[in-house]
Amino acid sequence: MKNKHIYIAIALLFLIGCMNNEKHVEESNNTIETGDTAIHIKSRPNYTAIGKKIAAEAQLVLARNLADAINKGGVAYAIQFCNTQAYPNTDSMSKILNAELKRVSDKN
């Protein structure tokens, strides 16, 4: 019976020991620790967050222009407005946001 408890204790210690070798990422100082080794990595801009912010700002301006066009002349006017003004508005937003904006659509 004692041998069974000893084997269980050894197995648990072995499992706990294996858990200590997992990678731990510390975001504050950009260090990855693997056991006794620490790897320092250079900070990189979060391009995904920057892209999402640019897309949200551009979409907000385009949506505001669309809402204004609908209020001004209805849906038919808004369609005509978008056909003629969407690209110039996107170009001006590209310059303001210092980014290249392109239309993206899902393809089947």
Rounded Cα distance between 28 and 31, Å, is 8
The C-alpha atoms of residue 76 and residue 59 are separated, in whole angstroms, by 21
Helices (H), the chain: 2-19, 47-97
**Has this prediction a pTM greater than 0.75?**
no
73, 78, 79, 84: CA torsion to nearest 10: 110
Cα 59 from Cα 92, distance rounded (Å): 13
Are 39 and 26 in contact, with CB atoms under 8 Å apart? no
pLDDT, one tens digit for every residue, the chain (108 residues): 666 666 676 765 656 666 544 444 444 455 655 566 666 666 777 888 888 888 888 888 888 988 999 999 999 998 888 888 888 888 888 888 888 888 776 665
Would you state the pLDDT for residue 70? 92
Q: Domain map of the chain by residue range?
A: 2-40, 45-108
Residues 63, 69: Cα–Cα separation, whole Å: 10
Who's near 70: CB < 8 A, 6+ residues apart?
Answer: 77, 78
